[in-house]
Amino acid sequence: MTFNNSVLDILYLMYRRLRYVLFSDSSPVVASIKITQRCNLHCAHCTWVNKVTHDLPLDSWKNIIDIIYKRGCFVVFVEGGEPTLRKDLAEIVKHIKNKGMVCVLFTNGTRKLPDFDLDAIWISIDGTEKSHDNIRGKGTYRRIMDTLRDYPDKNTYSITTLSKVNAAEIEAMCRELSSTSLKGLIFNFMYPYQDVSQLTLSKEERISCARQVLDLKQKYPKIVSSDSYLRAVGQPDKLCYPWLLLLVTADGTITHGCTVEPAEKPNCEACDMMCGLEATLGFELDRASVHFWNLFNILTSFNIDHLPDWALRLSSIRHKQIM
pLDDT tens digits for 174-232? 999 999 999 999 999 999 988 778 889 999 999 999 999 999 999 999 999 999 999 99
Q: What is the pLDDT of residue 5?
A: 40
pLDDT digits (tens, 9 = 90+) for 142-170: 999 999 999 999 999 999 999 999 999 99
Q: What is the pLDDT of residue 6?
A: 40
- Per CATH, the homologous superfamily of domain 8-320 is Aldolase class I (3.20.20.70)
What's the pLDDT band for 310 if we cut at 50, 70, 90? Answer: confident
**Domain residue ranges of the chain, discontinuous segments joined by +:** 8-320
Across residues 294-308, what is the average pLDDT? Answer: 83
What's the pLDDT band for 50 if we cut at 50, 70, 90? Answer: low
pTM: 0.92
Spatial separation of the C-alpha atoms in residues 287 and 228, rounded to whole Å: 9
Q: Is 155 exposed, middle or buried (0-12, 13-18, 19+ CB in 10 A)?
A: middle
What's the pLDDT band for 117 if we cut at 50, 70, 90? Answer: confident
Spatial separation of the C-alpha atoms in residues 146 and 112, rounded to whole Å: 10
The DSSP secondary-structure symbol of 319 reads G
Q: What is the pLDDT of residue 136?
A: 87
Spatial separation of the C-alpha atoms in residues 241 and 64, rounded to whole Å: 23
